[in-house]
Amino acid sequence: MKEYHSFGWYAARVSPHLPKKAFKPVPSRLLGGLAYLIVSLAGLGTIIFFDINIWFSLLISLVLGASFAGMGFLGHEILHGTVVRKPWLRDLLGAIAFWPLTTGPKLWRKWHNLTHHVHTQDEEKDPDAWPSIQKFKRSRFMRWMYRVPFSIRALASFASLAVTFTLHSLKMFTVYVKEFNPKKQPSVWLEAILPWATWLGLLFWVGFAKWFFAFLLPLLIANFIVMAYISTNHRLNPLVPVNDPLANSLTVTTPKWVDVLHFNFSYHTEHHLFPGMSPKYYPMVKEQIKRMWPERYHEMPFGRALLTLFKTPRVYYHEKEFIDPHKGTLFGSLGNGLNPKNIKIKRTKVRT
């Protein structure tokens, strides 16, 4: 890509081609959240109040995990203000939706809306960006980790998706809680403590065996589903000097029924162009982007994106390439040698 443009530059050119209703909140999206909430409460109640066999418990855990993830996707939407606009109601509904993932609404908006979206793929300012070779050299843990054979490392990375969202959320709390106004810090702490108090209280009430199927296993499943999307949102894209969504974001394609269950979370480039727009209208945005800038737009089948992610390292080399520091092998990023259609990966060797 020869030049970068800000998300506002793109949005100004796409907006005139969209209906006015696309820029209004869509409260009806809460019906999907209500369905997930009912399913979750029914599943929790079944495990807590009845003695059921392990296989039925496992099945309910799978459903709970999928429901927790679905509620998280809706919570993300709610806290962008695309469902309801009243701040108190937005935060209340967002807190409920994120309760299973134990993330408070104020922290999420600070970390995700006000930092990640503003500084996407900026190595220093984006809290979700992966490190460069310079940061790698300063990290003893990363230097040790990259001595592990690539296949083992890739498998461990894949398995770690089951815990990454929760661990990263806890880290973001420690990073940002001090940046809140002292008057707001107590509420930020309360939003962080209450979900964990609920789930740990459940542990002491029902015992570990039931708690495992009611919360812990569903949380791991939800983490995995959510991180499967998040890990493909930007991690195949280059670091960029300008917040250009067509350069720094990837849309993945999934079956229509999956998009319905996950509230169109797959449309990630579109989301970074219009974070304040309901994902209901992202297919319209995609159509316009592909009409205006087909050569800039990145999309990939979800499974292929995950496969590509785990065939490449996650350390940046000069912003546009990835490097396996142990072997000195370079891999291209999207728009810079990585082909989204057939997973051709550019490989060269350099000294690190």
The domain ranges of the chain are 7-312
Single out the residue of 103, 104, 108, 101 nearest to residue 219, CA to CA. 101
Question: Which positions of the chain have pLDDT values less than 70?
Answer: 1-2, 339-352
Q: How many CB atoms lie within 10 A of CB 139?
A: 13
The four Cα atoms 310, 312, 317, 318 give a dihedral, to 10 degrees, of -100
Q: Give 110's contacts (C-beta < 8 A, 6+ positions apart).
A: 176, 179, 180
Spatial distance between the Cα atoms of 231 and 312, rounded to a whole number of angstroms: 13
At residue 1, the pLDDT reads 47
- Give the Cα separation of 329 and 318 in Å (integer): 13
Instruction: Please tell me the predicted confidence (pLDDT) of residue 207.
Output: 97
Nearest to 78 by CA among 139, 34, 129: 34
The strand pairing partners of 347, in sequence order, are 331
- Selection from 283, 248, 298, 231 nearest residue 118 by Cα: 248
**Cβ-based burial of 324 (10 A; exposed 0-12, middle 13-18, buried ≥19):** buried
CA-nearest of 213, 255, 195 to 65 is 213
Place of tokens 């403590």: 193
Give the residue ranges of DSSP H helices in the chain.
7-14, 30-49, 54-79, 87-98, 105-108, 133-138, 140-145, 150-176, 185-206, 208-211, 217-234, 245-248, 256-261, 268-273, 282-292, 302-309
pTM tops 0.85: yes
Determine the pLDDT at residue 16. Answer: 97
Confidence at residue 352, expressed as pLDDT on a 0 to 100 scale = 58
Distance CA 185, CA 98 (A): 19
Pairwise CA distance, residues 182 & 42, whole Å: 39
